[in-house]
Amino acid sequence: MVTATVLFALMGVCVKMASQTASTGEVVFFRGGVGAVLMGLLAWRTGLNLRTAVPMLHLQRGASGVSALAMWFYTLGTLPLSTAVTLNYMSSVWMAVFLVLQVAWRRWRGQAAPAVPMPLLAAVAIGFLGVTLVLRPTIERDLWLPGLVGLVSGTLSATAYFQVASLGRAGEPEVRVVFYFSVFGAVSGLLISAVELLYQGHGWTPPTGTTLMWLLGTGLFATLAQVCMTRAYARGNALAMASLQYLGIAHAFVLGVLLFDDPVHGIAVLGMALIVLAGIGATQASAPLKARR
């Protein structure tokens, strides 16, 4: 899991560098295209049949996951690296919000539902307080739109995680899940480029040598990180792994300061710490509710 967090942070660096000359559609395409090729080769080498019995589940996961990815890539190209990464890690807090709403919906319909743990509600409150602190320097720089987009990307990521869990319950192997997500991402990248060309007058631009390197790095680091994360969750304690993944914020903070001279705002650092605390707390406090779903 530690290796996965480092690889995801390096992916963020590649996205930020590539976004200087490449469009969001191009970045999404290469992220998905490289992953599809690597997962396809892995499936061929291991003899895994890529035919699926639940195509609609893959389609739903792809729609929410790629939408979150495209929004996050836009945010990475605009905001400081650590801020963009932190907003995406709000997904754990959003998952807690969804679980609380699910309990409330069941009770409203007169169905049996477990009590919501108070630590879970506290974690949600702390998480949103952290977001307020993280976004304050961003709003002061009139970058409220990228900040809002980053926050929405975290919400969609939480939805995608629930869909990944549904695919797991349906018996879909991880390689097949990642393969179809990558294919969906590559196709979506082409569609996003077409929309950018139609409405902005510029879409797909043939990448130069340096830009191509950053684009290929995006797909390579992201795919390797997904493989490491999948292996970590398969062999380690789920709660421990979910807590370790927040090391990604620390990696992104250090890389952002060293490579991009990102400003260090004390209030934003405090917000990041609160989001990490909230994410870990929400993951642990929501475990009983997830077990009863």
Helices 55-78, 144-169: crossing angle, 10 deg rounding: 150
Residue type for position 113: A
Q: What angle do CA 282, 284, 286 make, to 5 degrees?
A: 65
- Distance (Å, whole) CA 29 – CA 192: 9
Token reading at 153:
């990307």
Reported in sequence order, the residue ranges of 69-149 that DSSP labels E, i.e. its strands, are none
Q: Which residues of 188-217 are buried (b: 16+ CB within 10 A; e: fewer)?
A: bbbebbeebeeeeeebbeebeeebeebbbb
CA atoms within 13 A on the CB side of 288: 11
- Distance (Å, whole) CA 215 – CA 206: 11
Residue 202's pLDDT is 66
Residue 141's pLDDT is 67
Residue 290's pLDDT is 58
In this structure, how many other beta carbons lie within 10 angstroms of the beta carbon of residue 22? 25
- Distance (Å, whole) CA 190 – CA 35: 15
Residue 277's pLDDT is 85
Alpha-carbon 209 to chain mean position: 27
Residue 236 DSSP one-character state: S
Could you read off the pLDDT tens digit of each residue along the chain, which spans 293 residues? 889 889 999 999 999 999 888 888 899 999 999 999 999 999 999 999 999 999 999 999 889 989 998 998 889 888 888 888 888 878 778 877 888 888 888 888 888 777 777 887 888 888 888 888 887 776 666 778 888 898 899 888 878 877 877 888 888 888 898 899 999 999 999 998 888 887 776 667 778 889 999 999 999 999 898 888 877 776 776 666 777 788 888 888 889 889 988 888 888 888 888 888 888 887 777 766 555 55
pTM: 0.82
